Structure 1
Amino acid sequence: MSLSDSVGNELNAIVCTNSPESVLEGTSFAYAGRVTAEGDGLVFECFNLARRYVGKVEPQYRNTTNASHYFSRLTLEEWEAAKWLAIHHMHFELGPVLPGLLSVPPAQVDVVLSRVLQDLHYPENPEAGRKARSRVARILKAISQEKAQFKQLFAKGKGFDRWAQGFGCFQSATC
């Protein structure tokens, strides 16, 4: 299946529909969402895939504190695929927090993350490798903190429905 968004980005993928949610498998990523017919074509609805889509991304990337060891054992092809999967995972877990965490403008996040992972796997010098390990450790720590805050929210005996009602999401048409 070939998809494109309104600005010319294209994605060639296989759609697996053996579950209630379809899974779009392109390059090395898998996105969960819905495939619907629209006019003569198909539309994949997925929140983080492209500008127009709505849904949820579910990256299959190992969240490990020993990321440098994980990346250093990969072949060049495996590393390139894992690099982009890791970047998608970081976007999924941290979203708008990433630019502040990396101290870069939002448009530079992917470039910086790609360089950090490049330096982690193939450092130009020992200092670049140390900086990359430090940045990855900071990102993994932020991911752990985000997950801990989320778990803490639900561990206090408040389910999602009660939490969301506190914001009026189920009673209001604006949510």
Structure 2
Amino acid sequence: MKPRLCVYLSDQVDQRLGVAARRPGASKSAITDAALAAFLSPERDDQRDAAIIRRLDHLSRQLDRLERDQTIVSESLALFIRYYLTITPPLPGVEQDAARALGKERFEFFVAQLGRRLAGGKTMIRDVLEEVAPSEGDFFTEAEIDALRSVKTAASPNGDAKNGRGGSEEATND
């Protein structure tokens, strides 16, 4: 014999329990028993802990990447400052006022440009990476690229190329 338990439920939960108990083979007692068993199960804690651990691992990897990126930026800035201070000769006193005015103007331009780039979501790092990213020409000769294109063309259905004709693909965007 199972022990009897009296509980108080909110109206909303009682209505939902009643709807669920209308299904064939279901009863309020069976649903409540299963829900309490799942709630009190140590496996539930293990699953929750595993989810938290996965999140923490993800955050840890993100912080590691952020730290690496910050180190790169800091080192780049330090090297630039060292280089700038090494090659820039000191100015005579009579030219310092003009140099300060020019420096102020350049700095204001720099801040305005920085604001535009940040507002537009465009970053200098992304631009640099796009410039130095290897293209297929860096890895293959023109003959190898042409051979690859002809293989792709031959592998397409009916031997048709992207331009609708058979044979090699040639750019027509002259």
Provide TM-score, normalisation by structure 1: 0.24
Greater strand content:
1
Provide TM-score, normalisation by structure 2: 0.24
**More relative contact order in 1 or in 2 (CA 8 Å, sep 6+)?**
1
- Greater CA radius of gyration, 1 or 2? 2
